Amino acid sequence: MGFVKGLRCKECGKDYEKLPIHVCEYCFGPLEVNYDYAGIGKVVSRKSIQDGPPSMWRYKEFMPIDEEPKVGLHTGFTPLVRAKNLGKALGLKNLYLKNDSVNHPTFSFKDRVVAVAVSKALEFGFDTVSCASTGNLANSVAAHAAEAGLKSCIIIPDGLEAGKILGTQIYGAQLIAVHGSYDDVNRLCSEIGANHDWAFVNINIRPYYGDGSKTYGYEIAEQLGWKTPDNVVVPVAGSSLITKIYKAFHEFEMLGLIDKVNTKIFAAQATGCSPVTTAIKNGSDTIKPVKPNTIAKSIAIGNPADGYYGIKTANESGGWGEDIPDEEVVEAMKLLAETEGIFTETAGGVTLGVTQKLIKQGRIKPDETTVICITGNGLKTQEALTGHYTPPAVIQCNIQSFEEEFANNLTV
């Protein structure tokens, strides 16, 4: 198998061989994977996809690997939830949640990108994988490295949530926290890469890694019955996911798997780290880097690698970008849990809260089909809810105590 012709510079179009590289040496543009779409079109159909495994690998012809996938065989094909209760609360008739808070194995959409990156690292023959991470990537790289039998050395900013830290260490990964933000860590990792011949999944393996996100978009289209929605609201960190959902829809359109795409893509950020949505709102096509300050740590990237393309995606698709303060992030996490029984992390609160704002602005309309991206699990970011709930009452184990508590303090 394998339909990858090589890498190509997104800016100047210069071609490169399939190597662990990510920047064009002529213009410093990012490299992306160049596929043989005619070849893919000859072997892929709706039926061939439907007959594939119930995982992201049902789209393996669209993935940048040359051999069979080696890890993450159960990743992806997560539920697309028809959200009737939440839709009612928001006044939307056709609302869906793409729920990667239950992705396998580490409960975020990052398992998609890492399944590809670590499979690719094995193809390249690396013995160690590494990454700069805001948390979810750390969890996923550690888990997949364990599955692959590779060593892992993971670098994070200090102050991440306990669930993200323990959720990395449990897999036996070497974990280092750095004084500073994700952007500082990312810079440091580029320097580490000069001294250590490791597969940095979101640096030298980035062109391959990013394409794992396309499967999130393919699944939305397939699960809607081979259609794309009117609106998708996407949480934005480095801007990889948002660009790849758009790319996925257009690849399916190009191969005739779906009709013409007419989807508006909306970028969602927390106000405390909103370089992409600020640029969109200001009508600018360049990122002004910021210093992150938000509880939505998983998407707190102040200088996003693909920020320019994130802005372009929202604009080209006819979408928009919005951000909300942290209080609204928490309110949205609660609303999602109380209406749909889904406990998302802060990033999911950001997408839902931003969706509410977009509805108020009239940018998302009641009859349209809207998909909200839920990309991570709330059990990993419990700190965000500190002070919002009191511990449960403890009573004696007899019926009188229960009835007393019920009469005095419960509201069922």
Ligand X SMILES: *Cc1c(COP(=O)(O)O)cnc(C)c1O
* 58's tokens: 């049902």
Report the partner that residue 202 touches, choosing among Zn ion, ligand X, none (CB closer than 5 to 8 A by kind): none
Residue 26 vs 402, nearer CB to Zn ion: 26
DSSP string for 194-261: HHS--EETTTTTHHHHHHTTHHHHHHHHHHTTS---SEEEEE-SSSHHHHHHHHHHHHHHHTTSSS--
Q: Which does 217 bind (CB under 5 to 8 A by kind): ligand X, Zn ion, none?
A: none
Among 298, 303, 317, 355, binds ligand X (CB under 6 A): 298
In the complex with Zn ion, the residue whose CB is nearer, 7 or 97, is 7
Please report whether residue 376 would count as binding ligand X according to CB under 6 A: yes
Asked whether position 215 contacts ligand X by CB under 6 A, the answer is: no
Q: Which two tokens stand for residue 370?
A: 């809207």
Binding mask 38-77 for ligand X (x = CB under 6 A): ----------------------------------------
Closest CA to 228 of 265, 263, 255: 263
C-beta neighbour count of 127 within 10 angstroms: 12
Build a one-symbol-per-residue string for 178-217: x at contacts with Zn ion by CB under 5 A, - elsewhere: ----------------------------------------
379, interface contact from Zn ion, ligand X, none, CB < 5-8 Å by kind:
none
Question: How far is it, in rounded angstroms, from Cα 297 to Cα 290?
Answer: 14
Q: 14: which 2 tokens?
A: 């210069």
Asked if residue 340 lies in contact with residue 320, where contact means CB atoms within 8 angstroms, the answer is no
CA distance 187 to 301: 12
Nearer to Zn ion, 14 or 93 (CB): 14
Q: Do 155 and 192 meet the contact criterion of CB atoms below 8 Å apart?
A: yes
Number of residues that bind ligand X (CB under 6 A): 16
Distance of closest approach, residue 392 Cβ to ligand X, in angstroms: 28
DSSP-assigned letter for residue 31: E
Residue that is written with structure tokens 């965000």 in the block: 384
- For ligand X, the closer CB: 204 or 239: 239
Token output for 85: 């209760």
Considering only residues 347, 352, 354, 371, which one is a binding residue for ligand X as defined by CB under 6 A?
A: 347
Site map 83..122 versus ligand X, x via CB under 6 A: -------------------------x-x------------
Burial 50-66 (b: 16+ CB within 10 A, else e): eebeebbbbbbbbbbbe
Binding mask 5-44 for Zn ion (x = CB under 5 A): ----x-xx-x---------x-xx-x---------------
In the complex, minimum distance from the CB of residue 260 to ligand X, in angstroms, rounded to a whole number: 26
Residue-wise burial string across 238-256, b where 16 or more C-beta atoms lie within 10 A, e elsewhere: bbbbbbbbbbbbbbbbebe
Q: Segment contacting ligand X (CB under 6 A): 53-61, 72-80, 230-238, 400-408?
A: 230-238
Interacting partner of 108 out of Zn ion, ligand X, none (Cβ under 5 to 8 A depending on kind): ligand X
Nearest to 133 by CA among 120, 149, 114, 119: 114
Q: Which range touches ligand X (CB under 6 A), out of 3-11, 49-57, 183-191, 238-246?
A: 238-246
The residue (of 141 and 241) whose beta carbon lies closer to ligand X is 241
Binding residues for Zn ion (CB under 5 A): 9, 11-12, 14, 24, 26-27, 29
